[in-house]
Amino acid sequence: MRRLLCKILFLSLAAPYLAGAEPRPGHMVYLRTVDPSIEQDIRYASPHNFTGHVLDGYAAPECLLSLEAAKALARVQTALRTQGYGLKVFDCYRPSRAVADMGRFATEPGDPLKAEFYPRLDKKDFWRLGYVARVSNHSKGNTVDLTLTGPQALPADTWTPAVAPVDCTAPYGQRWHDGALDMGTGFDCFDEPAHTDNPTINAVAKQNRQTLSRAMEKEGFAGYSKEWWHFTYTRDAALQNVMDFPITPLDPGSVLGTSHQLIVVTTKTWTDSQGTAQRYERQGNTFRPYEAPFPVVLGKSGLAWGKGLTPVDPQDGPIKREGDGKAPAGIFKLGTAFGYDTTADTRLPYLALTPAIECVDDSQSTHYNQLVDGATVAKDWNSSEHMRSMDELYRQGIVIQHNTPPSPASGSCIFFHVWRSPTSPTLGCTAMDQADMARLLSWLDPRQSPLLIQMPEEQYQHFSERWNLPGH
């Protein structure tokens, strides 16, 4: 039986004031607006890095890259997911002020996390040994530090200053658990076992490094011999300038900047289970309505803020909780289309549902919030939806990327799908007449970066100017 498991991460919408900060260039984008399925653990936005403090310029734990580098990384993620793997990024664009901060640390007294990150190294040798650069490609927007995730990874731990440091070269089960597969060492490990082709690491770690390197190189990323996690995108010669704009929280208005198709769903109030959907297409700097609006039904208990592309203040409305029967409000990317037929009139990626296809809603499963083939995947879940046992509801549908990447108990299996009737609410999805579902499928184009915007009318008007929403 379906469960809607909900927990949300809250961040303030207001970016901190940074005096004299240069603006973010137009070619630099937030990775989560291109591919929110790539996990992020931005280490320099927290004290859990080799310096032991938050670096200058990191006012938010966000990955920014050039648009072309972000798209290439999304292609890597797509390829890896077909093999059962995924990506987690530790650092992306790095303001030049942060590079200078690293340099100051290397010349000043104090080694708060030496025991974890460089137990056999004197920090004055960082530059000589190639672990820290005086001018970093990270500051050009084309370089990323990342790792490989997968079903065999140990769950990520939560770091606090009270955690006892463990040598980054210690065996996989003993060193810091970052939620990734065994890569031979931890991230930012300034030691020879972290060198990409080091012969002393175990066979599993060697294979994982090779899997990551091959996938990255195929899309134009070149590795670095001293750091297995470090890759630079090489297919955009224009990325030559060092930048110093600060990393700030994602401005919701920026989310819409790369989108050319919107689906806006609104209800009268938070508790309404019936609403209206309107499609929009970009014309220059504005969005224009596309064809007529159509009715939809939502969660039986209405709406509540979900985990999408735009963090919200908890004072702005109800928060989605486990089993509350509410559909998620916010701004969301769209994923795979699916249906009973072998093919469909859509440009979205399409999954033909077989009787074995399930959507896993067990938050303890490594496949939580994923569509899986139960006939081929080793079962580690106790609860799921069988996608061909829902009458005609899933004859056609589209994945709404709520809680992507998945956090335990934060909600799962949220879709557009066919309704039972105009008055039959859902358990958390957005449903419509089959004819409207078919029109939506044929209209959507992933090259246009389509987004779903879903919330009550009052909240839509409230955020309209701040988020650059189309007139509604």
Distance CA 58, CA 16 (A): 11
The domains found in the chain, sorted by start residue, are: 28-233 (3.30.1380.10), 252-464 (no CATH)
458 in active site: no
Partners of residue 175 on adjacent β-strands: none
H or E stretch at 208:
helix 203-218
In 3D space, the residue among 192, 132, 146 whose CA is nearest the CA of residue 31 turns out to be: 146
Q: What is the mean pLDDT of each run of 10 residues along the chain (472 residues)?
A: 29 34 87 91 95 93 96 95 94 96 89 96 85 86 97 92 95 97 97 96 98 98 96 91 93 79 97 98 92 98 90 76 87 93 94 95 88 92 90 94 82 95 96 98 92 96 88 74
Distance CA 174, CA 179 (A): 13
What local confidence, expressed as pLDDT, does residue 10 receive?
26
CB atoms inside a 10 Å sphere around CB 18: 14
Q: Are 418 and 395 in contact (CB under 8 A)?
A: yes
Task: Identify the active-site residue in 39, 227, 358, 385.
Answer: 227
pTM: 0.74
What the block records as the tokens of 85 is 């793997």
What the block records as the tokens of 97 is 């002020």
Cα of first residue to Cα of last residue in the chain, in angstroms, is 36
Handedness of CA 268, 270, 272, 276 (dihedral sign): positive
Q: Are 312 and 303 in contact (CB under 8 A)?
A: no
Report in angstroms the alpha-carbon separations of 150 from 70, 174, 225.
Answer: 21, 19, 24
What local confidence, expressed as pLDDT, does residue 314 receive?
64
Distance CA 47, CA 149 (A): 23
Distance CA 155, CA 114 (A): 24
Which amino acid, one-letter code, is at 44?
Y
Q: Are 309 and 255 in contact (CB under 8 A)?
A: yes
